[in-house]
Structure 1
């Protein structure tokens, strides 16, 4: 029976025979399906390999994303690329940005809590210049890996690059100071004026009482730091105006501009101690002098009362004994006594008795033994203000013996023992000058001036009176007469006197001719003198004979022979 389609064709048309389909049974598995299976296996293997070789993903928080771009900014260590920034988001509190970075495989062991990240970009500061290579390559994230510590994937980036990285050989030490001074990151650390390290960090203590400063000393200089090493602030110019005068110290031009720290181990009888360990704390002294000054545990405080001016005396001024410092001034006050209506200036001093060496068996001088102190005061020990420098005018307290000082005793006031004092030398001179001026004021200068005025008036009257004029006229006449007399002496009297002297000379010559050794008169006189001498001897003989024979005057000389 024809189908519905065939019934619609014309009856006379010819139609070819239709082919019949032959169904052939094939196998269920075809090789064509191997291709997508192989592709699936290769893709899975590649995905596994990529996942297994992929490094850790970390997040780093920064204050700003300046210079960072997702998909472009690299993470580098020593200029070796170890990762890339994949995402940059703003933190929920809007105070910074959170940077997501994908690191290479094998970086896991460096991701500890001690690892540090920062953005390397051009920086020019007073202490150093860094990151200039990023002017061409662009900013990147630098890493300072540390293997020690607990593993983490979240980090807080540094605002500034660290001064010293962990791969730098050396040792880190910590300093405590009341203030930071002019120190800053990168400030040099000196040993005998040679830079051996830098300041790498500083922070204020939790209680706000001091500042902790971290310094890094490079190898091999870190072996020069011992437990007894002293660190001091060598920043800027150390200008000290004290009672000792003016002292100027500095390490270098860099320390003047940037500040600095210096250290040394004092050469004393004490040992240097063991070599200092890492992160050991040291006190930071204000100056080299303070660092090398010996410290003593035993301290005694005394009070001194001064009545004169203490201008030039400051807190910290030295207390000297025979030219050697034994303490310092702690406090200076001004007090008023309403009963006496007088001012006094109490000065609190602190003395270190251990500075004074004593023999064995003797208590420390100026210590707790009041008997020794009383004996010293009885011997004349007093406190006195003296000028330490004429240039600065600074004063210091001098303890010395004054045998002529008024007697004094050791007393106590407000819990402090009071040492007696004597006026300063300038004050003593001022007192003597005041006494002299008082005596001068008591001198009757006004009365003497009045009397001198009267005397000068009388002298003026005499000088202008007729008597003086008459006396002057008489004096002029006398001088005229004397001139005339002198003229007569020159013209008349002088020649006559010359002739008289000539005649006298001739007379003397004649006399010399008469009485000379060879003159006849002289010979006659010698002969006469001899005769007189012979007659004198005869008379003496005769007198002796009469003395023995007085009867010869009656009997004669021959009567003696009977």
Structure 2
């Protein structure tokens, strides 16, 4: 009799537990069904691989709803994603109007829906956030959107794909531009080679170096010569002239001299474009003038080398002619 009573109690306990579980499930379902929700639609012009029905809808990381339906859009090009958003959560964010069920989720002009990825598993969700409408304007749909519509913003993967595609499309144009620049550079270099600017410049530099060597030798000879007491005044003036001549030589020689400047000018001549030929003629004229000046200085140096007293004689004759 005691064993039968225990079995009866055990069976009653199991039945009561089952009824309690069913009641709790019904209560939770009823509570969930009483939550006010609004369905909103977004149209994505990209793959939604990894997004499933029931995926969360988040506003800056806070879950405010879930994906209720995924279908092909009326234009057969985009993907329609329906999202059930909890009205209470939306009200806490201050994004609803007055008087539900007539209240509507107010969509600010800078609110967008974007696909996001959870970790490295590839599972996606819908992220709702604010974006700059100048950078992410609302997409133009080929069909009228429903009243409860949230514009889509391209995902990070979509932006990356678009950037790579644009770079690939511009690659032939960039290659053509590089080819044109190389061709222009080759034509400019060929024009300078045909004009013989480098040969003229090298010849002038060699002649200038020879003149400088002769002048240095003559100046040293004059400085070491003993002209006597009568020529002391003339020597003073000659030394002053030699000093001025040294200044002139420094302008010709050295890293900052005229010759170095001419060398730099010749080196930078390859950078000239439209005025290349005119610059070549001007450079040749300048080099001829420098060559003539160098020839005159060489003649003066040779005269001083032959007759160091020429300065004294010229001074004496000038004194004799004065009243």
**Aligning the two structures, in what range does the TM-score lie when normalised by the shorter sequence?**
0.3 to 0.5
Given the two structures, how large is their TM-score scaled by the length of structure 2? 0.46
The structure that is helix-richer by fraction is 2
**Which one has more relative contact order, counting CA pairs under 8 Å at least 6 apart?**
2
